[in-house]
Structure 1
């Protein structure tokens, strides 16, 4: 099976129309290309009655309820890979509700229960994650051999699931060890040069 590259992931979480992360993601039923719901509706309004995918030019159904559907999987992927986008969207929806008198049925749409529920799932302390940390030296040692010793990739055991809390604890321990190694290298290079 061919591995996905990060470029391919970003192609799927970025709206082709606004070049920003997908917000209220929808996928076209004919070709499965994804857009922000508002971007797609605005472009269809400007299209003059022709309904085609803007990316592949494939015709889509005239009945918009059949033409596209919400894509919660991709939207969750956007929010989990870029939590700032999620918090910004939640903030904007809250500000919108404060500024306008919105009927309760519209308020239910704006305060999407799945969106609010996702807040508890974003980077939860017990969430299983795959993690690879790499320390890159700020350039202390001049010797390439010493630099390769300082600059080492640390990877969590892939066979054992790790949680965000485990990764946070491991990262703090690693930072303490890195500081110790850096001080040791500086001290030992001063001693060797004397």
Structure 2
């Protein structure tokens, strides 16, 4: 997998800030003619004085420029997600304003929750770094196809009611893990509550400490509804919630798998093995020759301790050593 690169928010500020107030977009509004965006409270007073875009000077409308501007909910949602504290602070300022100005509050329609500051981060699915996220960690065995697939559940015999509960459960378990398409056998399930800034690397470290695993074991973490690709180590829980559109309807379901390290065996080439064999044979021959020389030296001494005449004194020919099955025989 390719390594992901983190982008600082400062690199995106020119796409997220208003040209008029130099702040992050609040109620982002886009001009239809040139697609330039501004804060609504900034562009409306500006267009009341002129009918041209403040950035490119294009004519918005001849007489009524406010007709050619639209609220950009998508852009505003991106700004809230990239700057998580912005929504919380803005809603707080609006509540304080309308609390001190009750007449302005009565002028708003009943369904204008966002304008009154009553909109929470839960309704827009905005997550913050300090928010606690509930998640489940399931340890499932890798999906492996069995050698002989079990019969389908529809083909059960008539006397299936007489079977024990254990046999029925085993049959269902084998059926749920056929052809490598099932989720695999559930081994361990844990429920955690972590900050949204916790990364996949932290979760892998947690798994290693719980099972006492060293770094040689590989751990892959997947989102339960999308197991095609393992999650990156630098992904935070907030990133996963945004990527897979988690809506807080239940725990953030994650699956992890543990793979044993591969024990690599050293392969000895034929040339290297034959060389080692020759060295071993030569060492055996030299040791046998040394033993034979010691035996001959001891046999040449008589009982009085005086050396007797050796074979070399009786004959001018040197002794010949015959080798038979790695045994040295002197003649």
Short-chain TM bin: 0.5 to 0.7
2:231 equivalent to 1:160? yes
Q: Note if 1:123 corresponds to 2:92.
A: no
Residues in 2 aligned to 1:163 and 1:114: alpha-carbon distance in whole angstroms: 29
Separation of aligned partners in 2, 1:8 and 1:165: 20
Structure 1 residue aligned with 2:67? 66
TM-score (norm 1): 0.56
Corresponding residue number in structure 2 for 1:35: 38
Q: 1:24 aligns with which of 24, 27, 44?
A: 27
Do the aligned residues in 1 keep the contact of 2:30 with 2:71 (CA within 8 Å)? yes
Secondary structure of the equivalent of 1:16? Answer: coil
Deviation by residue 1:64-103 (Cα, 9 ceiling, x = unmatched)? 4531100011111111111121111100111122111221
Question: Partner of 1:18: helix, strand, or coil?
Answer: coil
What's the offset of the Cα at 1:113?
A: 9.3
- Give the deviation of 1:44 after TM superposition: 2.1
CA distance in 2 between counterparts of 1:114 and 1:27 reads: 22
Summarize the Cα distance change of 1:5–1:66 in structure 2 as closer, same or farther, 3 Å threshold: farther
20 and 166 in structure 1: CA distance in 2 versus 1, 3 angstrom threshold: closer
**Which is richer in helix?**
1
Partners in 2 of 1:27 and 1:166 — Cα distance? 27
Q: Cα gap change, 1:126/1:39 in structure 2, threshold over 3 Å: closer, same or farther? A: farther
Structure 2: give runs of 5+ residues left out of the alignment. Answer: 1-6, 136-195, 202-220, 223-228, 241-331
The answer to which structure has the higher strand fraction is 2
Contact 2:18 2:39 in 1 (8 A): yes
Greater Cα offset, 61-70 or 16-25: 61-70
Contact 2:95 2:116 in 1 (8 A): no
Q: Which range moves more in the overlay, 109-118 or 33-42? A: 109-118
Give TM-score scaled by structure 2 length: 0.35
Residues 10 and 65 from structure 1, CA distance in 2 versus in 1: closer, same or farther, beyond 3 angstroms?
same
1:39-71 CA deviation, whole Å, 9 max, x = no partner? Answer: 1112223x3xx3111111111024345311000
Unaligned runs of 5+ in 1: 134-155, 168-194
Q: Map 1:39-188 to 2 at 5 A.
A: 39-45=42-48, 47=49, 50-61=50-61, 62-101=63-102, 102-103=105-106, 105-106=108-109, 108-109=111-112, 111-112=114-115, 116=119, 118-120=121-123, 121-123=125-127, 125=133, 159-160=230-231, 164=237
1:54–1:98 distance in 2 versus 1, CA, 3 Å: same
Instruction: Check conservation: 1:25, 1:72, Cα contact below 8 A.
Output: yes
Structure 1 22/122 Cα, relative in aligned 2: closer, same or farther at 3 Å? same
State the secondary structure of the residue aligned to 2:38: strand
Question: Which entry has the higher C-alpha Rg, 1 or 2?
Answer: 2
**Matches of 1:84 and 1:110, distance apart in 2:** 19
| Distance 1:14-1:165 versus aligned 2 partners, 3 A rule | closer
